[in-house]
Each structure stands twice: as C-alpha cells, then as structure tokens.
Amino acid sequence: MTNTDSPEPAPPSPDQTPNFEFPTQDVLVTERRPSGARSFIEWVVVIVGAVVLALVIKTFLFQAFYIPSESMVPTLEIGDRVLVNKLSYRLHDVHRGDIVVFERPPLDQTGEDIEDLIKRVIGLPGDRIVIRDGHVYINGQLLSEPYLPSGTKTENGPTDKCTEDKPCVVPEGSLWVMGDNRGSSRDSRWFGPIPERDVVGRAFFRIWPLSRFGSL
C-alpha cells in the first residue's frame, strides 16, 4: 500500500540558509564646531551687514524725525516721532496738503540749533496765494483746510505780503509751506517759498507715542 502523505522537508543545511541583506543605515556625523576666530568673523559680517542695511534705509528710503516745536499742533505734538518717506517724490510730484520735512532755510534765523523743519504744503509752483480775513486763497479760490481746528485764523507774516494787491506767487521748483498751528509757526510767511530740492521727504506715519500710532 502506497503512502500518499508528503514527507516533511529536511531542514536546510548551513550552506543553504537564505542570505538576507539589510539596508545600510545612515550614519549621523557631528560636525566640528567653528573655531573662535571663525565665529568672530561671522558675527562681524552680520553686524557690518546690518549697519550697512540701516544706512541704506536711512539714506534712501525711510528716516524717523523728532518733533521739537508746537508749529504743527494739533496734527503733531512736541515729542512726537514721525516716519518720513524719502522715496516718495522720486516717484510722484508733491501734493498740496502733504506734510514734508525740509532743510531749514537760511532766512529762518531763530537762533535754534535745528537742521530740518516740518510743515504742510499749501502752495505749489505757479500758485498765487492771498491771505484775507483769516483764510487762505489759492488762485482766487478759498482753500479748504479740514486739518485745522475749528475757528483757526491765518494771519499774514511780518512782511505784510500775500495780499490782494501783492499776492505771493510760488516760483517754479518751489513750494509754499505753513504750520497747522498758524498762530505759532514760522513758515513761508516769514522765510518765503522753499526750493523743492531741499525737501527731505514726506511724513506719512506717526510711530510715537503709541497712543497716537498711525498714519498722517
């Protein structure tokens, strides 16, 4: 009688044991820490780069200015700090109503050690300015000035110009500027129009105090 059951396979000999290959694991190599000299050089490069970047920004893009006087009250108070865009007028013309920082005119002799002034642009090149009955007229039209406190009166300067008989005409390449605090501002009523080339930039943002942080 034939046995139909399959015989059990014999265990493999040592020579027949399957050879399984396992993937080689990545080896984490710890890099050497930079030497003191190399670390120092890296820090010098970072600091120099930061200083150069700050100088580029201050020279060509933005600069913060401190308000030392009350000539722009209530728009700007003494001690406020504003950010000035130096690039604005390379991209577009000056607009009436802009608040600008400009180099102090030689005719503004007050004895104060102030290099730059900040005022609002009232007249543009070619404008005829007349001050009458406490108001400003540009080319015969009453100038709307919503930034002034109610009841503000604009008086003429010591030269008694800008009258109907002797209007102040803004030359080409110049601007007529005035402070918002009309009763306490030495401006174009005193030293006349300013050259556009003396404009440092447009004040567009108040960065201090934080309670009045915001655009101008």
Separation CA 179–CA 192 (nearest Å): 13
Separation CA 48–CA 3 (nearest Å): 93
**CA proximity to 195, closest of 128, 102, 122:** 102
Three-state DSSP class for residue 26? coil
Extract the tokens encoding 65.
Answer: 């200015």
Separation CA 84–CA 118 (nearest Å): 10
Three-state DSSP class for residue 123? strand
Report, as residue numbers or ranges, the catalytic residues: 71, 119
Separation CA 34–CA 41 (nearest Å): 11
Three-state DSSP class for residue 211? helix
Sign of the CA dihedral with 127 first, then 130, 131, and 133 last? negative
